[in-house]
Each structure stands twice: as C-alpha cells, then as structure tokens.
Amino acid sequence: MSGSAARHAWLIGASTGMGLEVGRLLVMAGWQVTLSARSTDILDRAARDIGATAVPLDVTDSAAVRTAAQHLFATQPAELVMINAGDYAPMPLEDFDSALFERLNRVNYLGPVYVLGAVLPLLRDRGGGQVLINASAAGYRGLPRSAPYAAPKAAAIHLAEALHPEAARWGVRLRVINPGFVRSRLTDQNRFHMPGLIEASAAAQRIVEAIDRNGFEIAFPRRLVWLLKLLRCLPYRLYFFIIERRVLGT
C-alpha cells in the first residue's frame, strides 16, 4: 500500500464466526474495518470488541445493499469486500422443504449477486480492489442432505468464475474462499463427524494470509479440499458408489 491511509475492508456477514475473526486479524494488522450483519446487538458488540465500525445490513435486501455500498464508498472506499453472509441447515430427503431452498438461496447466492452488483462498479471507480466470496468446498459436488445449502454455494463459485475475467479488466480481483468444516454456529448443527474441522480463528488466519497473494481460490484445510477435488474428477457411477457408502452408510 502506498501513502499513510489505513487500508479499508468491508466484511459483510461478520458479527460472528469466520468473518469476525478475519476482522479481528485485519484490525490488528492496521486495517480500518467495517462489519455488517443483521442482528444489531451482536454486530455492535462485535465491532466494539475488535475496534471496527458496525453497519447493519441484510444481504437479501438488494436496495439496502446498494444504499449501504454507495454510502460506504462515498465516505471511505473499501479496497477489500468480503461477502461472508451465509446460512445453513441440513435437509434429509424425507424432510424436503422448498421454503428452506428459497431462504438459503437468498442469502448464499442472491446475497453475493446483490453485493457484486453494488460494489463492482464502485471498486472500478476507485481504481480497483478485491472481492472475496466465502462459498464452500461443499459447492464442489453434490453431497447428501446438503442440497439447500450447497447448491447456492456451487452457484456462487460459478458466479465468481464467470465474472472473474471481466472484473479483472476493471482492476478488481474477484476470488472465492472454499473452506471445509469450520467450527461455528452453522456447523454446531451437524450431528456427524466433520473431517478436518478447524476453528474460525485458524480459518481466518488462512484467509488473511492469502489477501495479498495471487490466485483465484483460497481453500482449506488442504487434505480435505484435495480429497473433494479428486472426487470432483470421478465419473458419476464411481462418485455415487463412494458417496452412497461413505456418506449415507448402509
């Protein structure tokens, strides 16, 4: 960075979990940080705790996203925007719930769409910057009981891939974060063994270390991610054979 002004990051969906821990590390590294989320009490407490600014926001409200982005960039343009808002609930087939699909699609897919629509032109106008979408390694390939969560995450990865080359021409590095299992309010709902589970602070460390590095994807923990990437290459017949036995069991 040139000059003496602090670098500014806008972390959206960052009152708890990974987003809050990224904020904590960035503040410690001298960044100015703005945190957004819906629950104002928790958000205000989190922002006070780490020395950040709180801007309440629901990413599923496209007009509110646009207004917040315009206000924020008019006062102090952010060089980094992290789209971290996310929600999760497991869904076994016998509990098929269209309303759950709609709810998770709004936050996990349309949320990133609304934020990108608002911030990409603003980042271009400030001369560039970086956007991180926290998707998920669950978006690599279909896994049992995860469709309402993982299908929008797969779409978010696809969205970033599709927009990345054009965004680069605007000077914007559009990237994805694909974590495996990270301990948080979301994974606390899981009743199954989560291989490679890491703490939110460890995940945040991996994310922050990658901010000034090159590359499209930030994915961790390495062993789980490579296993899932390997599964992604398998033909359907072999993939379903393995998944039926290892995930569904007998």
Nearer to ligand NAP, 58 or 79 (CB): 58
With beta carbons less than 8 A apart as the criterion, state whether 55 and 36 touch: yes
Q: How far apart are CA 165 and CA 114, in angstroms?
A: 19
Give yes or no for residue 227 binding ligand NAP (CB under 6 A): no
**Would the CA dihedral through 189, 191, 195, 196 be positive or negative?**
positive
Tokens of 2: 């040139």
Give yes or no for residue 107 binding ligand NAP (CB under 6 A): yes
Could you tell me which stretch among 33-41, 74-82, 208-216, 234-242 binds ligand NAP (CB under 6 A)? 33-41
Stretch 135-164: interaction string toward ligand NAP, x if CB under 6 A: -x----------------------------
Nearer to ligand NAP, 167 or 218 (CB): 218
| Among residues 68, 134, 157, 207, the one that binds ligand NAP under rule CB under 6 A | 134
With beta carbons less than 8 A apart as the criterion, state whether 62 and 17 touch: no
Q: In what order do the strands lie in the sheet with 53-54?
A: 53-54, 32-36, 8-12, 80-83, 129-134, 172-179, 217-220
Nearer to ligand NAP, 110 or 167 (CB): 110
Number of residues that bind ligand NAP (CB under 6 A): 31
Give yes or no for residue 201 binding ligand NAP (CB under 6 A): no
Nearer to ligand NAP, 94 or 188 (CB): 188
Stretch 81-100: interaction string toward ligand NAP, x if CB under 6 A: ---xxxxx------------
Could you tell me which stretch among 12-20, 94-102, 124-132, 159-167 binds ligand NAP (CB under 6 A)? 12-20
Give yes or no for residue 59 binding ligand NAP (CB under 6 A): yes
Closest CB 216 distance from ligand NAP, rounded Å: 16
User: Which of 231, 144, 217 has its CA nearest to residue 179?
Assistant: 217
User: Which of 189, 119, 116 has its CA nearest to residue 149?
Assistant: 189
Rounded to whole angstroms, what are the CA distances from 3 to 6, 7, 40, 75, 92?
Answer: 9, 10, 34, 18, 53
Compute how many other C-beta atoms are within 10 angstroms of the C-beta atom of residue 99. Answer: 8
| Among residues 71, 185, 223, 232, the one that binds ligand NAP under rule CB under 6 A | 185
Could you tell me which stretch among 34-42, 74-82, 206-214, 223-231 binds ligand NAP (CB under 6 A)? 34-42
Please write down the long-range contacts of 87-90, taking CB distance under 8 Å and 24 or more positions apart.
87/149, 87/186, 88/149, 88/186, 88/187, 88/189, 89/148, 89/149, 89/189, 90/145, 90/146, 90/149, 90/189, 90/190
Nearer to ligand NAP, 171 or 195 (CB): 195
Positions in the binding site for ligand NAP (CB under 6 A): 13-19, 37-39, 42, 57-60, 84-88, 107, 134, 136, 179, 181-182, 184-187, 200
